[in-house]
Amino acid sequence: MKKILSSLIIILFFTGISDVFAQNYMTRNGMIRFYSEAPLENIEAVNRQVSSIVNSETGEFVFRVVMRSFKFEKALMQEHFNENYVESHKYPNASFQGMIMNINEIDFSSPGEYDVRVEGELTIKDATNKISETGIFLVNGDEIMGKCVFKVKVADYNIKIPTAVVDNIAEEVEVTVEIPLKKM
């Protein structure tokens, strides 16, 4: 009897969990790219280790990125980025926590392209700022591709640019986010 009761509890537990996770889409291999166009030199870095989860019922949306995972064309740029600008030894992650404001306009059961409006807080280093951006969701079965392009002011996130290289780095960088999400 004890064995049957234990088995029943385990089945109910996992059934309940699958219902809870049924509305979530997740990835651990999203992509964030940033691009800085400046008179002396353009700077680009790509990170393909972005974790994200979206709740398709509530619109809750989060992502986290390990700052050291950004890859640059030049090793010296990567070193300066980590040691001097974002201080990844002190602030190893950047994150976003927010909501998809028009979640009710997205039909997750119907393939197609849907406009999304996202509001939340972006944290880089020791600074958190509210952001509001638009993007798209490409829905295809149990998979979604989320895409967004927006600008970030470097100074808003306490990233100090030394005057010796101020012409090498733009005051605003373009951020591209592509997140392939799969239903959990």
Confidence of residue 71 (pLDDT cuts 50, 70, 90): very high
Using a pLDDT cut of 70, give the percent of the chain over it.
88
Q: Name the CATH superfamily for 24-183.
A: Lipid/polyisoprenoid-binding, YceI-like (2.40.128.110)
Give the pLDDT score at 5: 37
Report domain extents, the chain. Answer: 24-183
DSSP state of 2: H
Please give, one letter per residue, the 3-state secondary structure of 125-180: CCEEEEEEEEEEEEEECCEEEEEEEEEEEHHHHCCCCCHHHCCCCCCEEEEEEEEE
Q: Token pair for residue 160?
A: 């100090």
Cα separation, 25 vs 35, whole angstroms? 27
Query: Do residues 120 and 131 make contact, with C-beta atoms less than 8 angstroms apart?
Result: yes
Q: How many Cα atoms are found within 13 Å in the side-chain-facing hemisphere of 138?
A: 7
Residue among 61, 33, 63, 56 nearest 45 (CA): 33
In angstroms, what is the C-alpha Rg of the chain? 20
pLDDT surpasses 50 at 16: no
Span 14-26, mean pLDDT? 59
Token couple for 73: 């064309």
Residue 22: pLDDT band with limits 50, 70, 90: low
d(CA 71, CA 90) in angstroms, rounded, equals 19
Residue 143: predicted pLDDT: 96
pLDDT score of 15:
38
Residue 1's pLDDT is: 45
Contacts of 92 (CB under 8 A, 6+ apart): 66, 67, 68
| pLDDT at position 88 over 60 | yes
> Does residue 109 register a pLDDT over 50?
yes
